[in-house]
Amino acid sequence: MDIQATLDHIDQTLPQSLERLSELLRIQSISTDPDYADHCQTAADWLVADLASLGAEVSKRPTPGHPMVVGHIGDGAPHLLFYGHYDVQPVDPLELWNSDPFDPQIEDTPNGRVIRARGASDDKGQLMTFVEACRAWIATNGKLPCKITFFFEGEEESGSPSLIPFMKDNAAELKADVALICDTGMYDAQTPSITTMLRGLLGEELTITGPDRDLHSGMFGGIAMNPIRVLTKVLAGLHDDTGRVTLPGFYDGVPELPAEVREQWMALGDPTEMARDFLGAVGLSQPAGENTRTGLEMIWSRPTCDVNGIWGGYTGAGFKTVLPSQASAKVSFRLVGGQDPHAIREAFRAYVRAALPADCTVDFHGHGASPAATMDTSSPLFEAARQALTDEWPNPAVFAGCGGSIPIAGYFGDYLDMPAMLIGFAQDDDAIHSPNEKYGVESFHKGIRSWARVLGAVK
Amino acid sequence: MDIQATLDHIDQTLPQSLERLSELLRIQSISTDPDYADHCQTAADWLVADLASLGAEVSKRPTPGHPMVVGHIGDGAPHLLFYGHYDVQPVDPLELWNSDPFDPQIEDTPNGRVIRARGASDDKGQLMTFVEACRAWIATNGKLPCKITFFFEGEEESGSPSLIPFMKDNAAELKADVALICDTGMYDAQTPSITTMLRGLLGEELTITGPDRDLHSGMFGGIAMNPIRVLTKVLAGLHDDTGRVTLPGFYDGVPELPAEVREQWMALGDPTEMARDFLGAVGLSQPAGENTRTGLEMIWSRPTCDVNGIWGGYTGAGFKTVLPSQASAKVSFRLVGGQDPHAIREAFRAYVRAALPADCTVDFHGHGASPAATMDTSSPLFEAARQALTDEWPNPAVFAGCGGSIPIAGYFGDYLDMPAMLIGFAQDDDAIHSPNEKYGVESFHKGIRSWARVLGAVK
């Protein structure tokens, strides 16, 4: 297989590839906010048209939420399914962006050229590395080396409510030999990785109600229970002084790291220095997790609890001496190993209810519950892909953990009985979910080349 | 003095009095939000015109913030100064109002007719009781019984930043025999009160910063310190399990209630039943303050700490797994006796700083600091006013405490060396600072009559 001609073509057509990515980035496909539903449709339409231009048999598939895009092209073994998502996170706080989040800009930075926009890294830029690799394969070889199914969703940033029903309803069409997922990062700028351990995610929203209306803290302050006081006490009690989560049974099913994996991770560098470097990039210095764990464990193999949002009372300019009726928070748990999201949801709710004073009530709203996923790396496709990545980048590729949750990785095993291989080219400083998100032009360029090599290697 | 003719006139012209109040209530004079500055000017202009129509020598006086209105009318001893404020609280959450907060409505309710609008009770309705009493005096007697100075400000709901400088700069003009302040309530619907103990108020806003940008909780959750976690721990630590505030030195200067005052308060009814009734009106049942104190003590004679607002992270619809850079809160303390607001501010800030982990920083913004005020009731004007109120209402008037802070009451003593007499006709269920604020038409009507009697009695 003359892969070099394909790689050369990728190098020569990079400007056109970047322009196509920019077109997709201009579409404001925020899935979590209903006001942007039309933009999600537009993004799906754009992908249908782009895949059709490759010769794929492709269509937009309705769901109760945002649509799926499914396309098929090529033939022959192995049958690869490529998954990505076209939806993006909200952009607030907008005032912290240096440019319009939906007007992508190519910028030179001290760490190289980047393309800056919401979704540049998560996940439009990553998704397009694979599409562009296919385009280059077809341009230089007339066709793809094997059968490929594209499977794009538009609800990944809002909990993928339509995904499992759609996979079940279309199992025969989607079933392949392996699912390729491009929503992860490199270990560092020189070291590609295949992610084989993913944390799960449980989201909970709670609203505590005290008095049945907002009160004046002069008239009622001191005698009326303030729900913010209750909420802060509840949330403050979720961690003990060692950084452990206090919910009963929370650590049930959390495995200790196998000795060989611990050794492999220790070989990546001194844990204290690594934690300091990792945190130093965001203005921190002290690991805040369980004080008996290394930084890599804290983000790859240990469960967490974070408050992602809190609100109550008067939050505008100036001061208002209100004693509010309600206080709310959004809380998430990152899960590992065999932790049961539903058991932890119940433990959380029981803990909150038990902590409430007599006069307070609580309402809960669940926001998704996915267990952790550990990949089965026994298929020879994993080793072939690892070698292809090693050929492209300065350092050998590693099997790594990932702190984030990509529930889809587990769903392919659970509902379609196929392994998932997670390869991505994002960097830690891509600022995904944050203002000024970017994707390195090198991530994009060498990402396309990496996929071209993987397509050559798995044949 | 033929007070009956004046009272009859008040009864006959109540519809016109209500229409004038409605005009003032339509002006959106929210002082804490700079967007409403023009409306504050409009409210001041309206008052100038209304006092001029009585024959007062009146003008709008500029300040660095919203203007004062000062007017003089009549002559002869005693010289009474009447203070009120034309500014109102913000109206959020707007969706909880049953009608436009700035379109006053007269409504029949199970507890009688009310006028419903922001500021109906606090303080436009109360302010107009005195103005209307003066109007009726003039209409029926040709003039007022003594010299009266009107003094209205527009910054009471935003900490009165211009008040002390203005009082100092205009001391000769404002000095009178007694200051009448109409910003307090009745003890109950049958029992008028003159408020002689007022809590002070200290406001603090704090913002805790952890990472230097918003992070993705998948990538950083577990290793990066979450400032919401720090904030909840700090705020949860402000009260112990008995309801006491934990700041060192917080109770310095807090007096025990004199035995005779305690007896007078106990004579008002069974403390447990009173607390249950008071709280029952807002959907609560359990006093939440120091567990060794009665409900009346909690709101009249004990200091408090309340979180009036809290915010951080993602608070919109759906879920965003952000690990935020910052978390903020607005905290206030109600002060009594000799508590020093500045010492407590320093104790609060020292407590927060000591509780911060190594990687977090905190910024503080002070929002006013006024000590508690205890009135000197030795002037015979107090007993004369108490008798006049007793003549108007079913039950005898009482000297009472007040949980809210009316810093102006102390300022008249501190800066103009004159006593302040606090008489008001608000009810506990007026929902001041809350949605659907109202003022009883009876409060307004009998309030006007009460002031007409007071004017007749103090001559």
Q: Tell whether B244 and B381 lie within a shared domain.
A: no
Q: What are B328-344's pLDDT values in tens digits? A: 999 999 999 899 999 99
Contacts of A237 in chain B (CB under 8 A): 236
Distance CA B121, CA B433 (A): 10
CA of B329: which chain A residue's CA is closest? A315
DSSP B104-131: -EEEEETTEEEEESTTTTTTHHHHHHHH
The tokens for A241 are 């002084």
Identify which of A323, A334, A368 has the shortest CB distance to residue B306.
A323
pTM above 0.80, yes or no: no
Q: Are B282 and A224 within 8 A, CB to CB?
A: yes
**How distant is the Cα of A127 from the closest Cα of chain B, in angstroms?**
19
Q: Is A95 on the interface with B (CB under 8 A)?
A: no
| Domain residue limits at A377 | 3-198+372-458
What is the number of helices (H) and of strands (E) in chain B? 15, 18
Query: Going along A284-378, which residue ranges are E strands?
Result: 304-313, 322-323, 326-335, 361-370, 373-374
The tokens for A167 are 């996979």
Q: Tell whether A177 and A29 lie within a shared domain.
A: yes
Domain-located, residue A75? yes
DSSP class of residue A404 equals S
What is the rounded average pLDDT for all residues in chain B? 94
Nearest to B92, CA basis, from B35, B12, B162, B154: B35
Looking up residue B247, the CATH number of its domain turns out to be 3.30.70.360
Q: Tell whether B56 and B116 lie within a shared domain.
A: yes
Does residue B395 surpass a pLDDT of 90? no
Distance CA A207, CA A343 (A): 20
Q: Tell whether A214 and A186 lie within a shared domain.
A: no
Q: Tell whether B128 and B192 lie within a shared domain.
A: yes
Q: Are A236 and B237 within 8 A, CB to CB?
A: yes
Contacts of A435 in chain B (CB under 8 A): 213-214
Q: Between A21 and A190, name the one with better pLDDT.
A: A21
Q: Are A330 and B319 within 8 A, CB to CB?
A: yes
DSSP B202-261: EEEEEEEE-SSS-EEHHHHTTTSPPHHHHHHHHHHTTB-TTS-B-STTTTTT-PPPPHHH
pLDDT, average across residues A369-390: 87
Domain-located, residue A146? yes
Q: What are B96-133's pLDDT values in tens digits? A: 999 999 999 999 999 899 999 999 999 999 999 999 99
The tokens for A63 are 């769901």
Q: Tell whether A208 and A189 lie within a shared domain.
A: no
Q: What is the pLDDT of residue B405?
A: 73
By percentage, how much of chain B surpasses pLDDT 70? Answer: 100
Q: Is B218 on the interface with A (CB under 8 A)?
A: yes
Q: Is A307 in a helix, a strand, or coil? A: strand
Domain-located, residue A286? no
Q: Tell whether A360 and A412 lie within a shared domain.
A: no
Q: What are A437-452's pLDDT values in tens digits? A: 999 999 999 999 999 9
Q: Tell whether B237 and B323 lie within a shared domain.
A: yes
The tokens for A108 are 């030179």
Q: How confident is the model at residue A280 (pLDDT cuts 50, 70, 90)?
A: very high
Residue B149, strand partner residues: B72, B81
pLDDT, average across residues B231-240: 97
Indicate the residue type of A169: D
Does residue B258 surpass a pLDDT of 90? no
Q: What is the pLDDT of residue A268?
A: 81
Q: Is A364 in a helix, a strand, or coil? A: strand
Domain-located, residue A236? yes
Q: What are B354-384's pLDDT values in tens digits? A: 999 999 999 999 998 988 988 877 788 988 9
Q: Tell whether B364 and B233 lie within a shared domain.
A: yes
Residues with Cβ within 8 Å of residue B53, at least 6 apart in sequence: none
Q: Is A160 in a helix, a strand, or coil? A: coil
Q: Are B227 and B326 in contact (CB under 8 A)?
A: yes
Contacts of A221 in chain B (CB under 8 A): 299, 304, 306, 332, 334, 403
Q: Tell whether A62 and A160 lie within a shared domain.
A: yes
Helix (H) or strand (E) segment spanning residue B422: strand B420-423
Contacts of B216 in chain A (CB under 8 A): 404, 432-434
Q: Are A439 and A120 in contact (CB under 8 A)?
A: yes
Does residue A294 surpass a pLDDT of 90? yes
Q: What is the pLDDT of residue B196?
A: 84
Q: Are B222 and A289 within 8 A, CB to CB?
A: yes
Q: Are A431 and B213 in contact (CB under 8 A)?
A: yes
Identify which of A279, A319, A368 has the shortest CB distance to residue B203.
A319
pLDDT, average across residues A408-433: 91
Instruction: State which of B335, B370, B405 marks the end of a domain.
Output: B370
State which of A215-219, A368-372, B308-312 shows the largest mean pLDDT: B308-312
Chain A to chain B, count of Cβ pairs less than 8 Å apart?
A: 356
Q: Tell whether B348 and B414 lie within a shared domain.
A: no
Nearest to B111, CA basis, from B390, B389, B427: B427
Does residue B1 surpass a pLDDT of 70? no
Q: Which of residues 422-451 of A touch B (CB under 8 A)?
A: 428, 431-435
Domain-located, residue B176? yes
Q: What are A58-82's pLDDT values in tens digits? A: 999 999 999 999 999 999 999 999 9
Instruction: State which of A321, A351, A370 marks the end of a domain.
Output: A370
Does residue B261 surpass a pLDDT of 80? no
Q: What is the pLDDT of residue A375?
A: 83
Q: How confident is the model at residue B7 (pLDDT cuts 50, 70, 90)?
A: very high
Q: Are B317 and A33 within 8 A, CB to CB?
A: yes
Q: What is the pLDDT of residue B260?
A: 67
Q: What is the pLDDT of residue A197?
A: 86
Distance CA B344, CA B251 (A): 9
Instruction: State which of B355, B370, B385 marks the end of a domain.
Output: B370
pLDDT, average across residues B179-203: 91
Looking up residue B175, the CATH number of its domain turns out to be 3.40.630.10
Beta strand pairing status for B322-323 and B215-216?
Answer: antiparallel
Number of domains in chain A: 2
Q: How confident is the model at residue B216 (pLDDT cuts 50, 70, 90)?
A: confident
Q: How confident is the model at residue A1 (pLDDT cuts 50, 70, 90)?
A: low
Q: Would you tell me how many other CB atoms lie within 10 Å of the CB of residue B15?
A: 9
Domain-located, residue B327? yes
Does residue B241 surpass a pLDDT of 90? yes
Q: Is A105 in a helix, a strand, or coil? A: strand
Does residue A376 surpass a pLDDT of 90? no
Distance CA B370, CA A27 (A): 53
Q: Between B17 and A375, name the one with better pLDDT.
A: B17
Q: Tell whether A205 and A345 lie within a shared domain.
A: yes
DSSP A2-21: -HHHHHHHHHHTHHHHHHHH
Interface ipTM: 0.73
Domain-located, residue B295? no
DSSP class of residue B99 equals S
Domain-located, residue A279? no
